[in-house]
Structure 1
Amino acid sequence: MSEQFSEVDKLRAALFQSIQAHSETSTGHSGDIARIDVLTRIENVILKIIQSLSREEAPVLVLKNRSSWSNVRFDQSLGLLMSSDATITTVRSDCPSSVTKFAQVLKCLLSIYRLVQSDSYATKRDIYYNDPQLFGSQKSVDSIVDDISCMLKVPRRSLHVLATSKGFISGDLCYLEEDGTRVDCNSSSTAVAVSSNVCGIKNIVSSAKFVLIIEKDATFQRLMDDEFCTQLYPCIIMTGKGVPDVNSRLMVRKLWDTLHIPVFALVDADPHGIEIMCIYKYGSVSMAFEGASLTIPSIKWLGLWPSDIERFGVARDALIPFTQADEKKMNSLRKRPYSSCQPAWESEMELMMRRKCKAEIQSLESIAPQFLTRAYLPNKLRYGDWI
C-alpha cells in the first residue's frame, strides 16, 4: 500500500512541476483559447490537490457517474445529455479501493497536460504504454480519458488524445486530413479507414445525395463487392463495425453538418441492431456528456424492419429465435426515454416481441443472392420507404 501512495506522490509532484515550468507558455498563446482553457482546467484540478495537502487532508477527485440512466436527460432535438445534477463518484487518495485509480487519473492528466501544452497528439495506446503496470489494461486508459473529458467539461478531442478508428467509409467523398494529406473515398473496391482525427478534416468535397450507415462490416463489404455506390451514385456508405467508436460517430456527424443530406441506417432486425442505430441517433449513456456533438437526430431507419421479414417472404429457416438476453434488451430499449418519440419504431419492436424471432440483414439472401443491393435498398431509397 505504501508503494501506491509513493507513486501518487511522484505523479502529483511531476504534474505540478510541469505546470510550474510551462505556466508562462500556457498563457502566452493568446490566439489559442481552447488549449489555454484545457490547461487552466487541469491546473485547477491540481491546485485543489495542493490545497488539500496544505491542509493535511487526503486529496480527492470527483468524477461524474457515466454509467447510470438516472444521470442522463433526453432532448428530442439533441439526444441523450448528461444531467446537471448527475451523481458523482469520489476517488480518494487515502482509500485502498480507489488509490490506484487516483494515481491512474493523475498519470493521464500529466500526459494530457504535456500534449496540450506542446500542441502534439498521442494515442490512448501510447498513454497505456507510458506505464502499463500502473494502468493494468488498455480498457482502464480508455475509461479514464473519458472520465477526464467529463470532469474537465472538455470534448475528448480537445485533450489531444487520439483513438484508433475501427470504422470504414466509401463513396463520393474527398477531403484533406489535418496534415494536408488528400483522402479520396471514391474507390469501388477499397474502403478508407475513418480518420483518427475527424475534427482536423477539412475541405470536404462531395455530391452525395445521402449517407448510409451499415451496422456490420460483412454487409458493408457485400455492398462494396456489389458496387452499390456506383449503382446509386452519388452516395456515401459507412460502417462502425458494430457498436460505433467515437470517431465513427463524429465522422457521420461531420458529414451531416457539412453536406446537409439525409442519413439512413441499415441494421439487423434484432435488439442489438436497433440499439446501435439509437447510439448514432440519440447517443449513449457513457458519452452523454458529449452527446450534443455526436448525435444525428434526423437519422431514418431504412431497414431491416421486422415487418420486412413477412413482407418480402424471408425464408423461415433464415430467422433466429429470440433468447432471454434478446427479450431483456428489447424490454430495456422500449423503456428508454426516446422510444415514445418514434411510434413507427415502437410498432416494429412490438412486432418483433410478438413473433419472438429476429433476422440478420444477410437473411435477405434467402430471397435472392443480390436482393439486398439490387432490389431492397434501391427501392426503399427510391420510394421513400423509411421510418
Structure 2
Amino acid sequence: MSEKFSEVDKLRVSLLQIIISRFDVLTRIENVIQKTIHSLSREQAPVLILKNRSSWSNVRFDKSFGLLLSSDATITTLRSDCPSSVTKFALIFKCLSSIYKLVQSGSYATKRDIYYNDPQLFGSQKTLNSIVDDISCMLKIPRRSLHVLATSKGFISGDLCYLEEDGTRVDCNSNCTAVAVSSNVCGITNIVSSAKFVLIIEKDATFQRLLDDEFCTRLYPCIIITGKGVPDVNSRLMVRKLWDTLHIPVFALMDGDPHGMLIYSMAFEGPSLTIPSMLWLGLLPSDIERLGVPQEALIPFTQADERKLNSLRKRPYISCQPAWESEMELMMRRRKKAEIQSLESIAPHFLTRVYLPNKIRYGDWI
C-alpha cells in the first residue's frame, strides 16, 4: 500500500483550507450594503449580481482543486424593483443581517437556527439553504467563515482522537459505537491518529457492519466515516481535515450504481471540500462480473439510472478519468447495478474479511 500511496502523494497539492478573517467577512457584507445605499441615493433600484451555480457550462475542472466556477460564468441579476426577484432580494438581505451579527459577535448558528428565527418569512428550510449558498458564492466566502453551520448527520470511528473548539476531548476508538461528526469541524485541533488510511462509506448499514466486524483494528489501524448517503458538508470537511493533517490515503466504498458514482464524484466539487487524490475502492462495476456476484443479487437499470449516469458522464472532470469512463461504460452496457450488501451473497463476511482487505493490500482501486 505504501508504494501505491507514494504515487498519490505526488499528486497531492498542499492546499490550505480557505480561512477568511472576520474583518474581511464584515467588510464584504458592508460593501454590498454600501452599493445598495449608493443606488438608492441616486434613485436607482438596487441590484444583486449572482453567478449561476446550476449550470455545468459555468464550471471548469482543475485536477488540484476540483470544480471551480469559471471567471466568465453566466450571472443572474436580482432587481429590487422586479416582482420575480424582489422576494429573493429581500431574503438575501435578511440573511446577510443575521450573518453579520453572528460574525461580529463571534458566535455561530446552524442553518436551521436561522430558519426558525422567522420560518414564515423564509417559507421552507430549502429556501434558506439556497440563500446561504448564494451569499457564500456572491461574497466568495466559504460558508463556515460566515459562521453558519450545518447540522451533522455523519458518523466516524477508528484510530482518532481530537479536541473540539470548546476543549472537549473526543476519542473515536471504539469497536462497537461511532462518534457523530462535529458541527464545527474548523474548530477541531490536536488531531492524533496512527491510521493508515481513511475509508468513506456510502451507507450507514455498511458502516455498522464494519463496526460489528471490528474492521478498524482487524486489518490496519484506520478511520471509517459515513455521511449516510449523500454526505453533508461537515462530513466532507472532516475528511478534508483528516487528509490535510494526516497525509494518508482516502478510499471510497460506494454502491455499484449511478448514485454511488455521483456521491464519489462529490470529492471533486468545491476547492475547500475536494480530495483530488481520493481513490475509488469499490464497488466497481468490473468487480461485479469478476467476483461472480449472483444474478439474483443484481438490480436492473431503470430509466432514472440511465439519465443519472448519462448526466454524470457529461461532467467536466469525467473526461480526465479514463478508468472512470470505462467503468461507467461497462455499467451502461450491462444495464445492471449492485449494492455493497450484494457481496454478502457470495459468502458471509466476504466484504470485511476478503473484499476490502485484498483491495487495500494489493492496490486494487482506481
Q: TM-score, normalized by length of structure 1?
A: 0.88
Tell whether 2:29 aligns with 1:34.
no
**One-letter amino acid of the structure 1 residue matched with residue 273 of structure 2:** L
The match for 2:345 is: 366
Q: How does 1:290-329 map to 2 (within 5 A)?
A: 291-329=270-308
Per-residue deviation at 1:41? 0.7
Aligned with residue 126 of structure 2, among 131, 136, 139: 139
Displacement of 1:33 in angstroms is 7.5
The structure having more radius of gyration, on CA atoms, is 1
Q: Which residue of 1 aligns with 2:240?
A: 253
CA-to-aligned-CA distance 1:323-344 (integer Å, 9 cap, x gap)? 1111111112222222222222
- Contact (CA 8 Å) 2:78, 2:89: kept in 1 or not? yes
Q: Is the 8 A contact 1:100 1:134 kept in 2?
A: no
Is 1:185 matched up with 2:172?
yes
1:249 Cα deviation from its structure 2 partner: 1.0
Give the CA deviation at 1:233.
3.1
Specify the alignment match of 1:22 in structure 2.
Answer: none
Residue matched to 2:358: 379
1:212-227 alignment, distance < 5 Å: 212-227=199-214
1:58 alignment partner, SS class? coil
Q: Distance in 2 between matches of 1:98 and 1:345?
A: 40
Deviates more, 1:264-273 or 1:305-314: 305-314
What corresponds to 1:25 in structure 2? none
Match of 1:357 in 2: 336
Structure 1: state its 5+ residue gaps: 1-31, 284-290
Q: Work out whether residues 152 and 235 of structure 2, in 8 Å CA contact, stay in contact via their aligned partners in 1.
A: yes
Q: For the Cα contact (< 8 Å) 1:79–1:297, is it kept in 2? A: yes
**Identical columns (%):** 84
Task: Give the 3 Å change call, closer, same or farther, for CA 328–61 of structure 1 in structure 2.
Answer: same
- 2:124 pairs with 1:149: no
Letter of the aligned partner of 2:94 in structure 1? Answer: K
Q: What amino acid does structure 1 have at the position aligned with 2:73?
A: A
Match 2:226 to one of 233, 239, 260: 239
Per-residue CA distance 1:166-192 (angstroms, 9 max, x = gap): 111110000001111111110111111
Verify the 8 A CA contact 2:59 2:316 in the aligned structure 1: no
Question: Take 1:60 and 1:172, find their aligned partners in 2: how far apart are those partners?
Answer: 51
CA distance in 1, matches of 2:203, 2:20: 40
Q: Counterpart amino acid of 2:170?
A: V
**Structure 2 residue aligned with 1:18:** none
Worse overlay, 65-74 or 341-350 = 341-350
Distance in 2 (CA, whole Å) between partners of 1:51 and 1:133 is 30
Matched, 1:262 2:249: yes
**Greater alpha carbon shift after TM alignment, 203-212 vs 232-241:** 232-241
Is 2:98 the counterpart of 1:119?
Answer: no
The letter of the residue matching 1:95 is C
- For residues 88-118 of structure 1, the C-alpha deviation after alignment (integer angstroms, 9 at most, x for no partner) is 1111211122111111111100000011111
Partner of 1:99: 86
- Could you list the runs of 5+ residues in structure 2 that have no partner in the other structure? 1-18
- The residue aligned with 1:48 is 35
Alpha-carbon distance between aligned partners in 1 of 2:79 and 2:281, rounded to the nearest angstrom:
48
Contact map agreement 2:20 2:141 (CA 8 A) in 1: no
Deviations 1:226-269 (A, max 9, x none): 11112123100011111111111111111001000000010011
Superposition CA RMSD, Å: 1.2
Letter paired with 1:274: M
Letter in 2 for 1:294: L
Q: Is the 8 A contact 2:154 2:235 kept in 1?
A: yes
> 2:157·2:179 contact (CA, 8 Å) conserved in 1?
yes
3-state SS of paired residue (2:240): helix
The aligned counterpart of 2:4 is none
Alignment counterpart, residue 109 of structure 1, candidates 89, 96, 113 = 96
Structure 2 CA distance for aligned equivalents of residues 241 and 41 of structure 1 = 35
Question: SS at 2:43's partner residue?
Answer: coil
SS of 1:292 mapped into structure 2: coil
Superposed displacement of residue 224, structure 1: 1.0
Residue 167 of structure 2 aligns to a residue in which SS?
coil
Q: What residue number does 1:11 align with?
A: none
- Whole-Å Cα distance in 2 between the matches of residues 33 and 259 of structure 1? 23
Find the partner of 2:47 among 36, 60, 76: 60
Q: Which runs of 4+ in 1 moved over 6 A?
A: none
Amino acid at match of 1:211: V
Whole-Å Cα distance in 2 between the matches of residues 335 and 148 of structure 1? 28
